[in-house]
Every structure is written in C-alpha cells, then in structure tokens.
Amino acid sequence: MEAMAEKRILVVEDETRIADVLERYLRAEGFATERATTGRRALELWRAFQPDLILLDLMLPEISGIEVARTIRTRSDVPILMVTAKAEEVDRLLGLELGADDYITKPFSPREVVARVRAVLRRAGGRGRAQRIYRAGAIEVDLDAFEARCGGQPAALSPTQLRLLAALAQAEGRALSRHELLDQLGEAYVDVRTVDAHVKNLRRRLGPCGALIETVRGVGYRLRVN
Ligand code: CA
C-alpha cells in the first residue's frame, strides 16, 4: 500500500448504487470519502470537506457537473476526475477545457476508478500548498493561511476580499470583468455593482497596495503586477 491513507475523495454521483460501490472501494483502499448527489451539494462539500480529489459525474440534477467543475476551477486546482456515460463525449469535453485531470467513462470497474484516482493524486502530488500562494508585485495572497500582505505587512481582509484579490493576482496583470469577479463571491444572483463595493473596501484595507488595483473602464479591474 502506498502512503495515501487519509486522502479525502469527494464522490459526486446521483446514482446511489454506483456511489455506494465507489465509496466502498475507495474506503477499503484507505481513502476518506464524502458523497454529494447534486451539483449544489458538491459545491458545499468541496468547501466544507476540502477534498484532495473530486470524482465528478457530469450528469447531475440541478447544476451540471460541467458547471460544478467550472466553478471549482475559478478558485481551486484540486484534481478533478470526470465521469461521463458517453465515451464519445470526452473529445468534446476536452475542447471545453474544464480543467479536468482525467476522464473515465461509464460503465467502469471500481478497481479501474481506484487506479485512476491514485494516478491523478500521484501526478498532482507535486503541486501542493505552494500553488495556493499568489504573488503580484508587493502583494502576496495566501489562501491556505487566509492571509494577505502588502510589502510584507499583513492586511486584514475578509474571505471575500481575499478571494477577489487572489483572482486578480492569479490573472497576472490581465483585467478581469466584474462578472468574472462576481464568480469569486460565492453569492448567487447579486448585482455586479456589488463587486465595485467589494473592490472599494479591498483597496482601503490594502493600504498603500490598494492603488495597485486599477479600474479598467468598461471592463472591470486589474492588478498592476510591476
Ligand atoms: Ca448521473
């Protein structure tokens, strides 16, 4: 056995029979699992359970697996192993660039799934915590420690402000639209002007670094990186 005990797998699957089998096999191999049967629940558990890998069925009630993957990828590089019922779908899915780490088609053997989970986790092993620290000029955002710094000085930011700043830092000088930034807020159906209010507060909290967040007229915001 490899030292993979305690790795957490989020199984997103609405078919009880399949989810039961997957969880049983994964647990027998030393993984901790949680199950989501809807896309909405998948997003909740992704935040609460902080899985090391997500096994994501694409055909889900409410929010599709594709939307779930898109949402997660705006904020996280957690490995995603996508499950689709159609082998011929994979090419199309690859074209959508959803950021999946691998695809598996139904019907599958649970043993094959476990092997693929291990392979994806091994490949992802190199991109550990360091990936969650973003630097842009004098600004540093650490999403693991939930801290931001301006020229080495800590800035007291709310979780929302941290996520906005991380998104801007990740964009490496590219302007992000208010809609793209809205995705970071995790609040559904709010007005894009909410973003303006958050950015205003974020600038203030960042002190001297606040000026690095530039307004790009007609587009949104950009973090000046040099
Ligand atoms: Ca399904």
Q: Above 90 in pLDDT, residue 35?
A: yes
* CA of 64 relative to ligand 1 center, distance in Å: 9
Q: Above 80 in pLDDT, residue 88?
A: no
* CA of 79 relative to ligand 1 center, distance in Å: 19
In the prediction, which pLDDT does 209 show?
Answer: 93
* CA of 36 relative to ligand 1 center, distance in Å: 11
Q: What is the phi-psi region of residue 172: left when phi exceeds 0, alpha when psi lies from -120 to 50, beta otherwise? A: left
146-186 tens-digit pLDDT = 789 999 899 988 878 888 998 898 888 899 998 888 877 76
60-85 tens-digit pLDDT = 988 999 999 999 988 888 999 999 88
Q: Do strands 32-36 and 176-177 pair parallel, antiparallel, or not at all (unpaired)?
A: unpaired
Tell me the percentage of the chain whose pLDDT exceeds 70.
92
* CA of 201 relative to ligand 1 center, distance in Å: 42
Compute φ and ψ for 64, nearest 5 degrees.
-70, 160
Tell me how far apart the alpha carbons of residues 186 and 190 are, in angstroms, rounded to a whole number. Answer: 10
Answering whether pTM is above 0.75, one says: no
Domains of the chain: 8-124 (3.40.50.2300), 133-223 (1.10.10.10)
Tell me how far apart the alpha carbons of residues 19 and 159 are, in angstroms, rounded to a whole number. Answer: 33
